[in-house]
């Protein structure tokens, strides 16, 4: 998208943990270990974790100026 320049603020470990958690939430939902509103919440979180990991930016970090990304030397 032209004009969409989001500041990258997620490091490798942050992205890795989010992807692992997203996969865990999806597996729990598919296997039926969770159901109802808990399943819906976990799937929404899984989607958010995958989205933020794929664009290397967490929207919640932005207003607070948080970054888990290593500083370039």
- pLDDT value of position 65: 87
pLDDT, tens only, 25-65:
999 999 999 999 999 999 999 999 999 999 999 888 888 88
Please enumerate in sequence order all residues whose Cβ is within 8 A of that of 9, keeping only pairs 6 or more positions apart, or say none. 56, 57, 58, 61, 62, 66, 67, 68, 69
pTM, two decimal places: 0.83
Reply yes or no on whether the pLDDT at 1 is more than 70. Answer: no
Reply yes or no on whether the pLDDT at 4 is more than 70. Answer: no
The structural domains of the chain, with segments of one domain joined by +, span 12-56
23: alpha, beta or left? (left if phi > 0; alpha if psi -120 to 50): alpha
- pLDDT value of position 17: 96
């Amino acid at each position: 998208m032209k004009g969409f320049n989001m500041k990258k603020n997620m490091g490798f470990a942050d992205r890795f943990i989010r992807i692992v958690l997203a996969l865990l939430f999806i597996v729990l939902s598919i296997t039926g270990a969770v159901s109802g509103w808990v399943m819906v919440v976990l799937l929404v979180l899984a989607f958010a974790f995958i989205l933020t990991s794929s664009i290397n930016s967490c929207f919640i970090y932005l207003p607070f100026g948080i970054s888990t990304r290593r500083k370039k030397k």
